[in-house]
């Protein structure tokens, strides 16, 4: 490994540890609220899976969970200030059982020992090794320590709360089906020409596009093939048949199951898929009820 890359890694680790130490050594307050998640504008699932997009009580409260490691001193200081001074809503997204979020989630778990009010909203496990797929039994934090814990994994600890992106108004539109199969690639997969070329005869897009375009694409499809969690979820909400090529444990605990397949067999396996009715209304009702309890708990 080049010496520059080693030095950058050491410096990044130092920044992370310093921010966590500052937070743990600071007084904790509950003045206002911050909604911490992976606020990534290049991944529409990560971006839209947080409740600050859908409830007026949470407008302008979004905070990126990766800000604690940024080079910019002001960005890191803002993360420290908001984490210490605000009540916190963590989620949604696959923030549990994932190395890149472990330090932050352990930090939030530690803060439950203080007067800090912390709500988990629609978080779920996200283990990358295939041997864990469909077999995850525990989270890497104790969700029962948090003031409220809404988790998107049906059979895991916490109150079942599916992704809050179901609240988006785009799901209220009517869409006309014009294609039998639509393929939606994860932002990493769309860079792999060999995989993309396997589906050259089918309409395709990726989760790097904007939300309106991807929902319209799903709406126009009778069946969705995807390796994106939120494309799976939104397809089920829109009562589409869904085939998933899993790249993480996160696909296995939604309460309505897709057909699991591989890139080689997905087209063939699309004949096995079925659609579900009423899931959108169910997910919205759960999230609205959880919102009411959360706003009461946080005095919003």
Tens digits of pLDDT across the chain (300 residues): 578 787 788 888 999 999 999 999 999 999 999 999 999 998 999 999 999 999 999 999 999 999 999 999 999 999 999 999 999 999 999 999 999 999 999 999 999 999 999 999 999 999 999 999 999 999 999 999 999 999 999 999 999 999 999 999 999 999 999 999 999 999 999 999 999 999 999 999 999 999 999 999 999 999 999 999 999 999 999 999 999 999 999 999 999 999 999 999 999 999 999 999 999 999 999 999 999 999 999 999
State whether residue 283 is helix, strand or coil: helix
* 231 CB-near residues (< 8 Å, 6+ apart): 45, 184, 207, 214, 218, 224
For residue 230, the model assigns a pLDDT of 97
Q: CA angle, 91 as apex, 211 and 95 as ends, to 5°?
A: 100
For residue 209, the model assigns a pLDDT of 93
Closest among 123, 280, 263, 273 to 200, alpha carbons compared: 263
Angle between the 3-24 and 73-85 helix axes, to the nearest 10 degrees?
Answer: 30
Q: CA angle, 88 as apex, 87 and 91 as ends, to 5°?
A: 165
Peptide bond into 156 cis (omega under 30): no
For residue 3, the model assigns a pLDDT of 83
CA 231/CA 183 separation, integer angstroms: 10
Domain positions in the chain are 3-167+283-297, 169-278
CA 210/CA 9 separation, integer angstroms: 32
For residue 12, the model assigns a pLDDT of 87
Please check whether residue 148 is in contact with residue 289, taking contact to mean a CB–CB distance below 8 angstroms: no
pTM (two decimals) = 0.95
Question: Is residue 289 within a helix (H) or strand (E), and if so which, with residue range?
Answer: helix 279-297
Chain mean position to CA 220:
24
Distances (CA, A) of 40 to 26, 88, 94, 208, 209: 28, 19, 13, 10, 12
| Per-residue exposure over 81-119, b if at least 16 CB sit within 10 Å of its own CB, e if not | ebbbbbbbbbbbbbbbbbeebebbbebbbebbeeebbbb
For residue 1, the model assigns a pLDDT of 59
Which CATH code, of 2.60.40, 1.10.287, 3.30.9, 3.40.50, is assigned to 169-278?
A: 3.40.50
């Amino acid at each position: 490994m080049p010496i520059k890359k080693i030095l950058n890694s050491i410096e990044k680790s130092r920044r992370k540890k310093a921010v966590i130490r500052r937070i743990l050594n600071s007084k904790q307050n509950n003045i206002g609220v911050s909604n911490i998640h992976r606020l990534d504008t290049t991944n529409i699932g990560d971006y839209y899976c947080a409740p600050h997009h859908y409830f007026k009580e949470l407008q302008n409260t979004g905070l990126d969970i990766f800000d604690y490691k940024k080079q910019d001193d002001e960005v890191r200081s803002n993360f420290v200030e908001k984490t210490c001074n605000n009540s916190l809503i963590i989620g949604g997204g696959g923030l549990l059982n994932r190395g890149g979020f472990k330090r932050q989630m352990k930090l939030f778990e530690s803060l439950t020992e203080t007067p800090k009010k912390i709500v988990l909203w629609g978080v779920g496990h996200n283990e990358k090794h295939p041997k864990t797929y469909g077999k995850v039994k525990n989270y890497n934090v104790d969700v029962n320590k948090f003031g409220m814990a809404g988790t998107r994994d049906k059979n895991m600890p916490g109150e079942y709360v599916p992704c809050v992106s179901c609240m988006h108004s785009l799901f209220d539109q009517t869409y006309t089906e014009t294609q039998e199969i639509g393929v939606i690639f994860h932002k990493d997969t769309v860079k792999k020409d060999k995989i993309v070329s396997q589906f050259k005869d089918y309409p395709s897009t990726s989760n790097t596009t904007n939300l309106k375009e991807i929902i319209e694409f799903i709406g126009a499809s009778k069946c969705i093939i995807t390796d994106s969690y939120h494309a799976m979820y939104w397809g089920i909400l829109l009562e589409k048949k869904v085939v998933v090529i899993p790249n993480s444990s996160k696909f296995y605990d939604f309460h309505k199951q897709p057909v699991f397949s591989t890139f080689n067999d997905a087209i063939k396996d699309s004949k096995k898929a079925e659609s579900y009715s009423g899931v959108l209304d169910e997910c919205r009702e759960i999230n609205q009820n959880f919102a009411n309890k959360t706003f009461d708990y946080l005095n919003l």
